[in-house]
Amino acid sequence: MSIEFDNNLPIYLQIMNYIKRQIVTGTLKSGDKILSVRELAAELQINPNTIQRTFQELEREEIVETRRGLGRYVTSEESKIMGIKKEMAGELLDRFINGMQELGFAEQDIVSIVAEAVTEVPEPDQDRGVNHRE
Amino acid sequence: MSIEFDNNLPIYLQIMNYIKRQIVTGTLKSGDKILSVRELAAELQINPNTIQRTFQELEREEIVETRRGLGRYVTSEESKIMGIKKEMAGELLDRFINGMQELGFAEQDIVSIVAEAVTEVPEPDQDRGVNHRE
DNA sequence: CATAGTGTACTATTTAGCTATGACAGTAAC
DNA sequence: GTTACTGTCATAGCTAAATAGTACACTATG
């Protein structure tokens, strides 16, 4: 329902990802009608102009389709949706691996760290045991 | 030597990470003198005021120490440097795993994907969705 | 002392992002 | 037609980020 906004990234981009995630995970399905500009603006407590910009970008990426006077709909091209998922996952993967390598972690370490983080019972909070061997 | 700047993140934050990376990887060692505001500004082609802000933040985080009239130096506390590495790695890990889970990937999948990406011989081309937001 | 190199402070300007507000146009249902 | 939704456009104002330029204070060196 709501989003935690990161002050260091433009809101309209964060909302774009929010919508994309909903599409990728099936919360919004191909052909579904999307919340109107004003509705989403009210729900997220964001100015309609900002939502408008979000949708303009999504349309430019051919992720949503607009029918003036009617509303917006998730693209009917299923292949496009698969593409979005690959693209987003690829971006996450790149950022992570590049980032870790820039910090000096070896490839083997990176795999281990992820495996541990995923296996591990979620600790109450705390340091998250990134396990870096120098 | 230089940085690729991402337009969607403030420059001063990107330079902060640039410095932190140099410290973590040992390019800059504990106690080392850091490039002056004007030198770094010239090298990165960035306004000195922006560099100044970068260093102010780094000092607030106790990563660098300033001696007026002399220059800036990497913190003498080795433990602090370890802390930075853990912190940065933890952030990367969190963003990656949370992001992948938000996209609907199961924990097992995430580990596999990383293992593959690391094992894999870098393909000549391929999508991998690099698409860093312009 | 003078000089050169440091950090620091200040004003001014530009730009992007976001907000506030109002207005207009297309579509469906009554 | 009227009403109530849609998307769209336009104006104005605010703030943070970054730039440009100038000036001042501290420190070491000679």
- Characterize A47-56 residue by residue with b for buried, 16 or more Cβ atoms within 10 angstroms of its Cβ, and e for exposed: eeebbebbbe
pLDDT tens digits, B19-69? 999 999 999 999 999 999 999 999 999 999 999 999 999 999 999 999 999
pLDDT at A119: 87
CA B66, chain centre distance (Å):
21
- Nucleotides on chain C that have an atom closer than 7 A to a protein CB are 5-11, 16-22, 25-28
For Cα atoms B96, B10, B87, give the angle at the middle one, nearest 5 degrees.
40
Average pLDDT of chain A to the nearest whole number: 91
Cα B31 to Cα B44: distance, rounded to the nearest angstrom:
23
pLDDT at A1: 62
User: Do the Cβ atoms of A129 and A114 come closer than 8 Å?
Assistant: no
pLDDT at A3: 85
* Lowest-confidence segment of A54-58, A64-68, B73-77, B117-121 by average pLDDT: B117-121
Tell me how crowded residue A98 is: count the other CB atoms within 10 A of its CB.
Answer: 11
The CA–CA distances, whole Å, from A63 to A15, A32, A56 equal: 13, 12, 10
What does the domain layout of chain B look like in residue ranges?
Answer: 11-76, 79-119
B10 touches strand C (CB under 7 A): no
Tell me how crowded residue A34 is: count the other CB atoms within 10 A of its CB.
Answer: 20
Average pLDDT of chain B to the nearest whole number: 91
**Mean pLDDT value of segment B114-129:** 71
How far off is chain A from B1, nearest CA to CA, in Å? 14
* The CATH number of the domain covering residues in A11-76: 1.10.10.10
Residue B22's contacts (CB-CB under 8 Å, 6 or more residues apart) are B28
How far off is chain A from B69, nearest CA to CA, in Å? 31
pLDDT tens digits, A92-105? 999 999 999 999 99
A12 touches strand D (CB under 7 A): no
